[in-house]
Structure 1
Amino acid sequence: MNKISGAFLNRKAFIPFITSGDPSLEVTEQLVIKMAEAGADLIELGIPFSDPVAEGEVIQNASMRALAGGVTVDKIFDMVGRIRSKCPVPLILMTYVNPVFAYGTEKFFKNCKEAGVDGIIVPDLPYEEKGELTPFCSEYGITFISMIAPTSGSRIRMIAKEAEGFLYCVSSMGVTGVREHIGDEVNKMVEIVRSVTDIPCAVGFGVSTPEQAARLAAFADGVIVGSAIVKIIEKYGPDCIPYVVEYVRMMKNAVKNCEGL
């Protein structure tokens, strides 16, 4: 069992997402450590990108702020290296395929390994084209996290059979962002996955309240929250850490209370 799968062992996982460098890399570094202390089981770090097609306005704006602040992929790797010496929680980079290619694919994954990155999510890379990256993931020991969505249909079983670490289940159509209501499609997706594999299923896109997290954790293995946390960071800027920590603790408790159900 790899480190990422181990984060789901005997518990429901809470997985926060933040954009690296928003409001600064120094704050991001502190946030990761403090979120882990507050109960985060895995942490997703977004690499800011000028055209994040899967993201809603909140995370798009966070990317723009980070890029305006001079964040680069090299600076993110340096930050992850510093975090890794203080924080054992698995770290996953969320990026788009263009920044990886522009950086140099082999160099990117080599630096992932050296920095201590555990996994990668690439939302704009179709399943059929994952071979562009998975050989490098295998060579450098980086887990490639696959995604499924309500539109995946008959491909869900195929994707699930080859998935590693955990399966990222997109709760609803469209881009990331806080939603009032999350439909039942994701429950059906998890049922299909369960029919072919026992890989952990974590649900993301639109989750923001403890009630939503608890409802999803009742049938899924983990809950992913991004936009709601990024909105807190946007609101409080450099002073966001205690507010994010309070939110993460609240959401982790909601997920944890579903264990054993």
Structure 2
Amino acid sequence: MTVIKQEIQDASSFIEEKIGGLSPEIGLILGSGLGVLADEIKNPIRISYSDIPNFPVSTVEGHAGQFVFGELNGKMVAAMQGRFHFYEGYAMDKVTFPVRVMKELGIEKVIVTNAAGGVNKEFEPGDLMVIADHINNFGTNPLIGPNSNEFGPRFPDMSTTYSESLQTLAHETARDLGLKLQSGVYVGNTGPTYETPAEVRMLRALGGDAVGMSTVPEVIIARHAGMAVLGISCISNMAAGILDQPLHHDEVIETTEKVKANFLSLVKNIVSKMN
């Protein structure tokens, strides 16, 4: 882990100057096809990643590549419209840098979203899944390297990685809205290849319900920093070998477009109820 405090402070200072006296309470990390949520923010202040000191730049289709600050259902939020991935060639400290900046801005709660492949055969494309736990299958960890106690402990506890109270809130909110909401274990792989059918069978045997190429590094850093985390996956397709069809990124975008109304309704109502 190569984290330089001054780089984080420079980025957060730049953002604070742009947003004036705005104090975001909740961070939102929006995955492939899910950035539409940021368009719901009132009186938005948009800051391109390319303008922020020390920030990487998103290169993936479906990721707008900007921070959006403003009001969402009565709460002040900072939404990442697009994220960074290990498979883009970024080191883990760059992939997770925005989470450190959110913490520096005073954000203590974060909702992490992603598009994921369904490993659980009971799932269907278009399902939304609350992440109850994850499996780090990246073969590395963003905390490897020297640790600074000002960021978090050397050996952070991950027994309650995803806030149980926020999971309960998500399920209660879905029930009130009449939405089906799955719960399961998210497996984080490096990508950029989709998994083989044999790998999917392995992940299912290990207890995985959904698989993707993000989220886990950001969540590890958020928990290291003491932030409360809620994770939501959009099951954009069934993983390899479950259905007899090839996988492609266009399908991910198509599915998230179809379920965006449910996704928007769920997350907006969760945000409104977060304390």
TM-score range, shorter chain: 0.3 to 0.5
Instruction: Return the TM-score normalized by structure 1.
Output: 0.32
Larger radius of gyration: 2
Q: TM-score, normalised by structure 2?
A: 0.31
Structure ranking higher in helix proportion? 1
Higher strand share: 2
